């Protein structure tokens, strides 16, 4: 697959086939993408917690799903069967935040190529989840859910979604998750 197609396929997935477990071997394969990706000054300050056990329930309760939707997150049976928690030993500065973005996107693309899907989460209480995970001084800076997708996510041109330019994602009557993207003429400055 062309890298651009893989990027387009790598969408935020929030509903999963919860019964399809993600093995530790697969999580380690996905984590390898974060190991080899670039980082500011090659300092490699990120640490990862790979989770596919009962701690999934703990993480699920602490993260906020899709705040643009009127939705409390996936029902039992569609919850993430695994997570990769990106951890840092200090509040992320700008370089560390960029490092996290690179690592997260690389891992999500690797997961997508393997037929899995994922979503990044920044909406959680770092102190509370950090205490629950018990890896101090490393605290969670980004949570990534991983699993077999159980939803359809479609990219749309923003103009086809809403004339008023609102970029909020939404669900249509089939339950498809639609994600408006701005056109090239807006993205690229003249
Ligand atoms: C830094 C970052 C933080 C995010 N945090 C959350 C979050 O807390 N909860 C959530 O449901 N989605 C979260 N997302 C996913 C975005 O909502 C998603 O990327 C956006 O809706 C566009 O969809 P797409 O990823 O399929 O293009 C986050 C994405 C990024 C890049």
Tens of pLDDT along the chain (190 residues) come to 899 999 999 999 999 999 999 999 999 999 999 999 999 999 999 999 999 999 999 999 999 999 989 899 999 999 999 999 999 999 999 999 999 999 999 999 999 999 999 999 999 999 999 999 999 999 999 999 999 999 999 998 877 767 777 899 999 999 999 999 999 999 999 9
Q: What residue's CA is closest to ligand 1, atom 6? A: 121
Reduced to 3 states, what is the DSSP secondary structure of residue 37? coil
Residue 124 Cβ < 6 Å to ligand 1: no
State whether 126 and 163 are in the same domain: no
State whether 165 and 124 are in the same domain: no
**Ligand 1 centroid to residue 14 C-alpha, Å:** 10
State whether 108 and 178 are in the same domain: no
Query: Among 13, 122, 143, which residue has the most ligand 1 atoms within 8 Å of its CB, making it the best to mutate?
Result: 122
Domain residue limits at 186: 152-190
State whether 75 and 157 are in the same domain: no
- Ramachandran angles phi, psi of 147, nearest 5°: 175, 180
Query: Among 73, 119, 123, 177, which residue has the most ligand 1 atoms within 8 Å of its CB, making it the best to mutate?
Result: 119
Residue 168 Cβ < 6 Å to ligand 1: no
In eight-state DSSP terms, residue 136 is T
The C-alpha atoms of residue 18 and residue 83 are separated, in whole angstroms, by: 12
State whether 100 and 27 are in the same domain: yes
The C-alpha atoms of residue 27 and residue 36 are separated, in whole angstroms, by: 15
State whether 85 and 47 are in the same domain: yes
Count of the separate structural domains present in the chain: 2
Residue 58 Cβ < 6 Å to ligand 1: no
């Amino acid at each position: 697959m062309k890298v651009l197609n893989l990027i387009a396929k790598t969408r935020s997935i929030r509903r999963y086939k919860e019964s399809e477990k993600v093995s530790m071997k697969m999580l380690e394969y996905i984590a390898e993408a974060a190991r080899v990706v670039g980082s500011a000054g090659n300092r490699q300050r990120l640490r990862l917690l790979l989770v596919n056990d009962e701690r999934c329930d703990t993480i699920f309760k602490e993260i906020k799903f899709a705040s643009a939707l009127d939705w409390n997150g996936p029902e039992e049976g569609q919850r993430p069967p695994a997570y990769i928690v990106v951890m840092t030993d200090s509040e992320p500065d700008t370089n560390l935040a960029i490092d996290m973005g690179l690592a997260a996107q690389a891992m999500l693309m690797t997961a997508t190529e393997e037929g899995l899907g994922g979503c990044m989460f920044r909406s959680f209480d770092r102190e509370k989840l950090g205490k629950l995970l018990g890896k101090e001084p490393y605290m969670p800076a980004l949570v990534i859910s991983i699993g077999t997708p159980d939803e359809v996510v479609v990219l749309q041109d923003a103009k086809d979604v809403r004339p008023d330019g609102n970029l909020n994602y939404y669900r249509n009557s089939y339950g498809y998750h639609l994600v408006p993207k701005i056109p090239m003429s807006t993205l690229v400055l003249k």
